[in-house]
A = this chain, B = another copy of it.
Amino acid sequence: MPLFTLTTISQQKHFAGLQIRVEHESQVLNCTMRFSVFLPPQASADNPVPALYWLTGLTGTDENFSTKSGAQRIAAELGIALVIPDTSPRGAHVPNDDAYDLGQGAGFYLNATEAPWDKNFLMFDYITCELPSLVEQNFPLNNRRAISGHSMGGHGALMIAARLPERFVSVSAFAPIANPIHCPWGQKAFAAYLGNDQERWQQYDSVELLKARGLMLPLLVDTGTADEFLTKQLNTEALIAVAAGLPDARVRYQEGYDHSYYFVSTFMEEHLRFHARYLLA
């Protein structure tokens, strides 16, 4: 079997573009994975388009963003593709946990070092290597990429952009878990996936990475003031503090909005137009 074989699960016309869901055998994650791609109507072999990668939050799959964000309307207008991976490895043979915030649906976009997770939970490598290779070989995309995400996926987007800024032109996030080493969700997941080595934890913590390395990319973050996880999990204040020292970063509170896709979809257009300034430059 060739390395990069995609099976199309569904292909649906949407805002004159195509919403495509595919399945493939992941060499990195050692399991069958699904992801979705939205191709705007402008995309063709003669006209490859840039892509926004979207990382989803805890318990989600590629379908949350695909069905609830409203992003395709704006992506179709702008001529930007959307690449929407799952949140973890999947399958009966893949380790799991009864809790919603560990195991399948909760990969935290890192490379696990601890058993039993270390055979499959290598989401950092999947998102940064295998997935872009796959989509750029199989779809009419150029190599201009932006990255965004929600909650656990906001953590993923900030953390990946901070570690591999040369891969992206811009980064944004909605209600990111900004400082996971200092919140219950992050501490639980990092302890399970990474063991107790605190230096390893810091390599996956957005606030710590931004403190240590800075960020030359333009950054936009929105978090709702009625977000039910604001105080205990998101550590937005720590992100605001470190963002003050970055050259092109805006971290905003949005009055009255919660943690749901009702919040995400409200500000999706502004985020896409932010990324478009750099993706289409």
Q: Which residues of A contact B (CB under 8 A)?
A: 12-16, 19, 67-68, 70, 72-73, 224, 226, 256-258, 260-263, 265-266
Contacts and interface: CB of A to CB of B under 8 A. Distances in A.
Contacts of A266: 13-16, 73
Nearest to A258: B12
A160 B16 CA distance: 31
A200 to B, nearest CB: 37
A266 B19 CA distance: 12
A190 B163 CA distance: 61
Nearest to A256: B13
B73 A226 contact: no
A69 to B, nearest CB: 9
A247 to B, nearest CB: 31
Candidate in A13, A14, A73 with the most chain B CB atoms within 10 angstroms? A13
B262 A13 contact: yes
A13 B257 contact: yes
Nearest to A67: B68
7 contacts: A12-B258, A13-B226, A13-B258, A13-B263, A14-B262, A15-B266, A67-B68
Nearest to A267: B15
Contacts of A15: 265-266
Nearest to A64: B67
A266 to B, nearest CB: 5
Nearest to A259: B12
Given A15-B266, A262-B13, A70 B73 contact: yes
Contacts of A72: 262
Contacts of A13: 224, 226, 256-258, 262-263, 266
Contacts of A224: 13
A166 to B, nearest CB: 34
